[in-house]
Structure 1
Amino acid sequence: MPLYRPPRIAASEITPRDVYLSRRHFLGTAAAGLALAGTGSAFAAPLKAAPSAYKVDDKPTSKQDVTTYNNFYEFGTGKSDPARYSGDFKPRPWTVEIGGMVAKPTTIDMETILKEIPMEERVYRMRCVEAWSMVIPWIGFPLSALLDRVEPLGSAKYVAFETVIRPKEMPGQSGFFQPLDWPYVEGLRLDEARHPLTILATGLYGETLPNQNGAPLRLVVPWKYGFKGIKSIVKITLTDKEPPTTWNKMASQEYGFYANVNPAVDHPRWSQATERRIGEANGLFGGARLNTLPFNGYADDVAGLYAGMDLKKFY
């Protein structure tokens, strides 16, 4: 059995952003003039997407920061680990199994998804529970487009997600000491999953999603904290019961099932009232501090989902 790692080690420290790049794991992108990981992700491949009405006025975070400052424990617990150690991960070929309480369970491959489901570019604010944030131009499609294909039954109330287990390609899943219990699992209520803001991302900045950002398919729910955004998804299950989620299992007093961005509900070990915008240098810690917005600024769109709920209890 994997050993338990206390959550204070997993989430309480912000790793410095100085990244030591290995030639084995990185390739150049001439257009951007950056050195980024992705030997197995076809990162430089352009990904076609239609413009979307879902944009924000905030300045996008640089592609370098978005692709080198990540949480993806399957490749290591440091912020630079995913970019450094994900080069051997192979996101093709790839299939996703969709089942549970559905009329038409199926297994679909990424080529079919990219060919048959229209892609959009959506610029979203993204907020991490560690009180840092980014603005990312994702490429993806509404999760509802995939759910419609399998026809959820009336008894379905939740959507559960599961990530891949490949310890030979994901060094964070190998070795004696394990920071988490694999596979990483997450979940949403069905109405959250079907909300038009909820997408499955296949790329960012006009290009194929790099390994360190969750290739080839990851969940993006912009009004929730980042740990809800499960990466490298291989299984989606419709169920009538609230599914277990990785960080809630690890430390339920710190990481709730809903994980809605809420400046009025602090993490037990730090305030969530402000956030540090990555890449916007200002002050001692190298990031502009901003007031955290309820639901990460998407309250007009999603607050109605939680009408009548005690958001301090259902955090």
Structure 2
Amino acid sequence: MLIKSRESWMLSENDVTDKDIYLNRRSFMKMSGAAALAGTIASHAQAVDRDIAGYKKDPSSLSSELTSYEAVTGYNNFYEFGMGKDDPAKYAHKLTTDPWTVKVSGLAEKTGTYALEDLIDFKAVEERIYRLRCVEAWSMVVPWIGIPLKDIIKKLEPKSEARYVAFKTLKRKSEMRGLRWPVLDWPYQEGLRLDEAMNPLTLMAVGLYGDLLPNQNGAPLRLVVPWKYGFKSIKSVVNIDFTRREPMTSWKRSAPREYGFYSNVNPEVDHPRWSQSTERRIGEWGRRDTLMFNGYEEQVAEMYTGMDLKKYF
């Protein structure tokens, strides 16, 4: 008999909410469509402790390692809303996220423009909660809600010649004040090699902490690639493009000496202006050693066998 074991980085919803809230959430997560899901979550908002009921009751549990909701949603990089870490939380509420469509293009059989609820199987989301470490100039541990990107890719049926998948963020000047400044060549663009995109750790997230994604965290749809630096995890995705050649990314175009296509977390590769051998965890005073592939070496290292990770940084 085959017994499926849960990976260490996956949580059940029981690990994130009290049982009563969990059971209610299971019932409304089965409703079809993002709009219905959003409306029901909003109606239950007061029933959910923003620190998530249960975390503080058992400090020895895995959930005690999670970064607080306030830090996850209040300290962000999302330059479309400003360069300050608190700018996204201040200004992203202006972003309209419903309705939302995603254009699928390039080397795939099922290209076209998809409504969010047609691209994401929200029924499959109900038990998919992932406790993942994410690293930028700091690190956080976030309970993401979403589905593996590979599930979406399989649905879109990439052609045999497709080797990469590229993404674009929404560009809407009327609602994204940061687009006034040429910090980057807008819209924001990112990409992955197809095998990276198909790794079970690569997520398309629609929520966190038992709720839909806040706008400042990339609502309504964002990528999460936990073994790479945070800027790879593109927010508010509106385009998925399958390509034969390595796609250009925003930070590589802006500063190719500093930001490579792969951007794997690697303590042995320093940024030209600072060391990356240590990191700061939000909520901690000191610094800790940076782990190769952000601690997910067992799950992802095989994809880079034989590559010079200092050259392909």
The TM-score range, normalised by the shorter chain, is: 0.7 to 0.9
Structure 2 CA distance for partners of 1:184 and 1:151, relative to 1, 3 Å: same
CA–CA distance in 2 between the matches of 1:133 and 1:305? 23
Q: Of 79, 84, 87, which aligns to 2:93? A: 87
2:274 maps to 270
Residue 116 (structure 2) pairs with residue 121 (structure 1): no
- % of aligned pairs identical? 55
Residue 81 of structure 2 aligns with an amino acid whose one-letter code is F
Equivalent-residue separation in structure 1 for 2:272 and 2:47 (angstroms)? 43
Q: Which has the higher contact order (CA 8 A, sep 6+)?
A: 1
| Higher alpha-carbon deviation: 94-103 or 107-116 | 107-116
For the pair 1:187 / 2:191, whether they are aligned, the reply is yes
Structure with the higher fraction of residues in strand conformation: 1
Change (3 A) 1:61 1:183: same
Residue type at the aligned position of 1:293: L
Name the SS for the 2:160 alignment partner. coil
The DSSP-based 3-state class of the residue aligned with 1:312 is coil
Residues 33 and 137 (structure 1), Cα distance of their counterparts in 2 relative to 1, 3 Å cut: closer
1:294 to 292, 295, 302: 292
Backbone CA RMSD of aligned residues: 2.0
Structure with greater helix share of residues: 2
Alignment-mate amino acid for residue 223 of structure 1: W
- TM-score, reference length from structure 1: 0.78
Aligned-partner residue type, residue 308 of structure 1: G
CA distance in 2, matches of 1:31, 1:132: 31
* Structure 2 counterpart of 1:144: 150
Specify the alignment match of 2:234 in structure 1: 230
Measure, in 2, the Cα distance between the counterparts of 1:34 and 1:123.
17
Give the Cα separation in 2 of the matches to 1:196 and 1:114. 16
Rounded to whole Å, the distance in 2 between the matches of 1:34 and 1:148 is 35
Which of 71, 96, 106 is the matching residue for 2:102? 96
1:288 CA displacement:
3.2
SS in 1 for 2:172: coil
SS of alignment partner, residue 216 of structure 1: coil
TM-score with structure 2 setting the length: 0.79
For 1:206 and 1:114, the matched residues in 2 are separated by 17
- Looking at structure 2, the residues matched to 297 and 259 of structure 1 have their Cα atoms a distance apart, in angstroms, of 15
Preserved contact between residue 58 and residue 135 of structure 1 (Cα < 8 Å) = no
Give CA-to-partner distance per residue, 1:8-55, whole Å, 9 cap, x none: xxxxxxxxxxxxxxxxxxxxx6556669xxxxxxxxxx9xxxxxxxxx
Q: State the AA in 2 paired with 1:103.
A: E
Gapped regions of structure 1 (runs ≥ 5): 1-28, 36-45, 47-55, 281-286
Structure 2 counterpart of 1:299, one-letter code: E
1:73 to 2:74 alignment: no
Equivalent position to 1:303, from 301, 304, 308: 301
Number of residues of Structure 1 aligned to a counterpart in Structure 2: 259
1:111, distance to aligned residue in structure 2 (A) = 2.4
Q: Which residue is 1:11 aligned to?
A: none
Gaps of 5+ in 2: 1-44, 53-61
Report whether the alignment pairs 1:244 with 2:244: no
Query: C-alpha distance in 2, partners of 1:289/1:230?
Result: 26
